[in-house]
Amino acid sequence: MLDWCAIDTVLLDMDGTLLDLNFDNVLWNEHIPLRYAEHHGMSCEAAREHLFAQFSTHRNTLRFYCLDHWSEVTGMDVVAMHRELTHLIRYRPHARAFLERMMSSGRHVRLVTNSHRDGIDIKNEFTGLTELTHLTISSHDYDAPKESQEFWQRFARHHPFDKARALFIDDNVNVLDAARTYGIAQLCIVSQPDSARPPRVGFDYPAFNGFDEIMP
């Protein structure tokens, strides 16, 4: 699946790739709509319909991933609500072992996520994730989401790497499409980002579930 002899830089997404996306799906699809309904005195169904329409409007934009924006929209402390579900924060299968192997291999390991810095900090408290990478990048650092060429250009300008000898792993097809357009040589997609949902199929990219499947 991968030519490890041709990889010097390993770029890794966080949510749905290294960490179980179940946390985020429960938070945004269930927990926040419930809290929103309670806060505004409305039914859960109405709250979910209203919020999902808002989410859809901003999908694939930086605002979609901005916790400050959603705190403003909902009138609630979205960052604080993350802490109500920390029991769901966990690594995906063999992800930690994969990071340890990468760090000891001499390759440069970079966490590249659309997550807001506050979200990264909370998840790092429970996983120690940033200690297992050389560099942590949020798309908010460059005012552009990973789905855009602006992100990849700004990221590479600040932290140069040889894209012909790079691997990027993500669970989002739109992000991988942008990375392919930018020219990153090797790309992989996670087939089951959420452990509570069935694996996905039909990708244009090599797919895997547990990191033991691609361990060099």
pLDDT digits (tens, 9 = 90+) for 125-173: 999 999 999 999 999 999 999 999 999 999 999 999 999 999 999 999 9
Q: Which of 41, 69, 87 delimits the end of a domain? A: 87
> Coil, strand, or helix at residue 98?
helix
Q: Please give the Cα distance from 31 to 82 (Å, whole number).
A: 9
pLDDT digits (tens, 9 = 90+) for 21-65: 999 999 999 999 999 999 999 999 999 999 999 999 999 999 999
162 plus 205 within the same structural domain: yes
Per-residue pLDDT reduced to its tens digit, 75-109: 999 999 999 999 999 999 999 999 999 999 999 99
pLDDT (0 to 100) of residue 71: 97
Q: Are the C-beta atoms of 194 and 22 separated by less than 8 Å? A: yes
Specify the pLDDT at position 197.
98
> What DSSP element (H or E) covers 101?
helix 95-104
Please tell me the total count of domains within the chain. Answer: 2
Q: Is the pLDDT of residue 11 over 90?
A: yes
150 and 43 co-located in one domain: no
CB 50 within 8 A of CB 32: no
Q: Does 1 have pLDDT greater than 90?
A: no
Same domain flag for 188 and 159: yes
| Same domain, residue pair 108 and 64 | no
Residues 117 and 162 in one domain: yes
Domain of residue 181: give its range. Answer: 4-20+90-213
Last residue of one domain, picked from the residues 87, 103, 138: 87
Pair (204, 123) in one structural domain: yes
Question: Does the global pTM surpass 0.85?
Answer: yes
Q: Are residues 8 and 27 in the same domain?
A: no
Domain finish residue from 34, 69, 87: 87
Cβ atoms of 200 and 191 closer than 8 Å:
yes
**Could you give the CA distance from residue 127 to residue 137 in angstroms, rounded to a whole number?**
17
Note whether 81 and 99 are same-domain residues.
Answer: no
117 shares a domain with 159: yes
Are both 9 and 80 inside the same structural domain?
no
Rounded-to-10 torsion of CA 195, 192, 125, 58? -110
56: Cβ contacts below 8 Å, ≥ 6 apart: none
Shared domain for 75 and 161, answered yes or no, is no
Q: Side chain identity at 171, as an amino acid letter?
A: D
Do 70 and 118 belong together in one domain?
Answer: no
Task: CATH number of the domain at 102, please.
Answer: 3.40.50.1000
- pLDDT category at 191 given cuts 50, 70, 90 is very high
